[in-house]
Structure 1
């Protein structure tokens, strides 16, 4: 189903998210005596908590914490990250009380490439869209992971990102926060590489999620442009150091050695999403002569969404597909480019009410 466009509730500044590195959230001043401390986290499920939660905003809704994982013990690093550690950002609903009986659903948000979970943009987007909503939001570290268990990680050692996020992080969150630890209490969404990850995870583990969303995700690994984007992230130092090889994540990207690329492509395997809420958002790049790189990237994402929509339609799976074109009818400041904050904020503002219609919540 295609949505009608509607204006953004709040105009947002245009910030680079995903392909443009955003600014890491600085720690807020220490909580006053009148303000509760953030929750304490216990280790478990193969994760060791090496940095206890610390508030990341003045409102004391959002905190970050750090873990090490035996499934990804040596992630590649973006500027500001600590070797061997994974930062996770969590936003709580207003009025959250760890001592109370009330439990909340959880939205897992997956960031794009050349992005971090704990950025000003991700924090703003989440807090604005979930204000007054009884929902916990979790953004895990993903660097250049493509949210997959890598085929050829080489000297980096294990890079089992899917196992880390689904089999370790989700149970850790459920054990330490007042969540609804069931399928009807979880949704997942992502931007760009994270949109791929959201569909990838939902298709592999439909028992975990009741709603999946993609904001300009690269959903079709059979698309040669999409394969080039994955390879670029593997080889580009701006996506993390050290760099990796072109076959590190999904194996060789050329026929007849590309079997993993084909089997892991979300667009062609949507049948696993039957019974789940599905939403996709994308622009068309707008004026291709303005910011042409981000325009072309968004246009490519639009093509992969259209392919995915075709497979969903053929499978008889209901879905929401919002193609906002050049963005002029979607949000103030959105011109249909990739990684525009105004576009992403409008996406999230629209997505949150959709999932709350389906998720079990207070």
Structure 2
């Protein structure tokens, strides 16, 4: 359903390797104070549904847009092809009419998931509780969008320009409609799993846009054959969205000598453009294999791709934060090192936001 916050288990980019509250009777001033922002069409986006609070906390809202860059897409349950529902969390005390501007973190969801989940809301609100001056925005990336402009999208869905949609449309749209700091030093990007790939992919392609990038158990190495198999599998699994798509739709054929796009788009080997950008990676090792073996294996293999990215960052002399929390012991209560575990992800986000607040511009009145 449009605008509905849903609960989904956050799953992996490699899983195939295996809710406007009306204040009835309230005074007009009180109603206005509690209303979410109103968005205007622009930057190539048409607003289908205006922001609506997801609950009485009145910090997080959902809204829906359309774009010609991704006019249709493979949908999960309750999604409408071509309608892109997104979620945003505002800082406590945010006032659209005030002079203060805030940095923005864009957070990219994993596969096969969606942006408007209770899990994401918890991550965003808990990491910014207590007055942290940060806006968080979660765009729609589809169950299998892979945050890329697809090489061979099927005719029924074409085009699938997810990167253009997010970087050239969503970001300036948010800057036009919310009180952001519309500059590199007021913007970060992060993501989980497939979204971790997307965060690094976007930051490497457009280092002019982002002052910080973070990956939470991202699949960062497209030269890794397990990672390639996982991406290909997402094109074929009905659980990744309907309709399914050809295996070569996203990055082209995954085999040599036709795999040039896979090689060129692999974040782990192309970290050079991140010089001068804050970089953070978070991963566990899967923990006890006999408990949730799928979650354990997927996290362990995601970790392998993070180690490759770390090695390239070290070789390039690029400062970075690498948090390898193993089986989760000491990182967060309830975190056992599995892929997509909410306690792990909440801890990742809290730590990442603490890094952002030391680096990004904030409390700006410009």
TM-score (norm. length: structure 1): 0.93
What is the aligned partner in structure 2 of residue 94 from structure 1? 92
Q: Distance in 2 between matches of 1:37 and 1:81?
A: 25
In structure 2, the residue matched to 1:30 is 22
5+ residue gaps in structure 2? 1-6, 14-18
Give me the whole-angstrom Cα distance separating, in 2, the residues matched to 1:197 and 1:207. Answer: 16
* Equivalent-residue separation in structure 2 for 1:142 and 1:83 (angstroms): 12
Match of 2:330 in 1: 329
The unaligned stretches of length 5 or more in structure 1 are 1-13, 21-25
Deviation at residue 328 of structure 1 after TM alignment? 1.2
For the residue of structure 1 that corresponds to 2:323, the secondary structure is: strand
Secondary structure of the structure 2 residue equivalent to 1:50:
strand
Aligned mates of 1:216, 1:30 — CA distance in 2: 39
Kept in 2, the 8 Å contact 1:19–1:115? The answer is: no
Partner of 1:294: 295
2:86 touches 2:140 (CA, 8 Å); kept in 1?
A: yes
Cα separation, 1, equivalents of 2:22 and 2:239? 33
Q: Distance in 1 between matches of 2:269 and 2:194?
A: 17
User: Which residue of structure 1 aligns with residue 149 of structure 2?
Assistant: 149
Shift of 1:325: 0.3
Question: C-alpha separation between the residues in 2 aligned to 1:168 and 1:330?
Answer: 36
Counterpart contact for 1:31–1:37, Cα < 8 Å? no
Q: Select the residue among 9, 23, 29 that pairs with 1:16.
A: 9
Deviation at 1:31, TM superposition (A): 4.4
Cα pair 1:48 1:67 within 8 Å, conserved: yes
Please give the alpha-carbon distance, in whole angstroms, between the structure 2 residues aligned to 1:267 and 1:57: 39
Structure 1 contact 61–94 (Cα < 8 Å) conserved: yes
Aligned residue runs from structure 1 range 96-245, under 5 A: 96-131=94-129, 132-143=131-142, 144-155=144-155, 156-245=157-246
- Structure number with the bigger relative contact order (C-alpha 8 A, sep ≥ 6) is 1
Q: Distance in 1 between matches of 2:23 and 2:249?
A: 43
Question: What is the CA-CA distance between 1:36 and the residue it aligns to?
Answer: 1.9
Structure 2-normalised TM-score? 0.92
Contact 2:187 2:210 in 1 (8 A): yes
Deviations 1:254-296 (A, max 9, x none): 1110000000000000000000000000000001121111111
Q: Distance in 2 between matches of 1:175 and 1:104?
A: 13
Does the 8 Å contact 1:110/1:139 carry over to 2?
yes
Question: Which consecutive aligned stretches of 4+ in structure 1 deviate over 4 angstroms post-superposition?
Answer: none
CA distance in 1, matches of 2:36, 2:11: 28
Residue number in structure 1 paired with 2:44: 46
Q: 1:154 is paired with a residue of what secondary structure?
A: coil
Structure 1 segment 316-355 matched on structure 2, within 5 A: 316-355=317-356
Assess if the C-alpha contact under 8 Å between 1:75 and 1:84 holds in 2: yes
Per the alignment, residue 70 of structure 1 pairs with: 68
Kept after mapping to 2: 8 A contact 1:150/1:159: yes
33, 58, 61: which one aligns with 1:60:
58
Q: Which residue of 1 aligns with 2:3?
A: none
Q: What is aligned with 2:4?
A: none
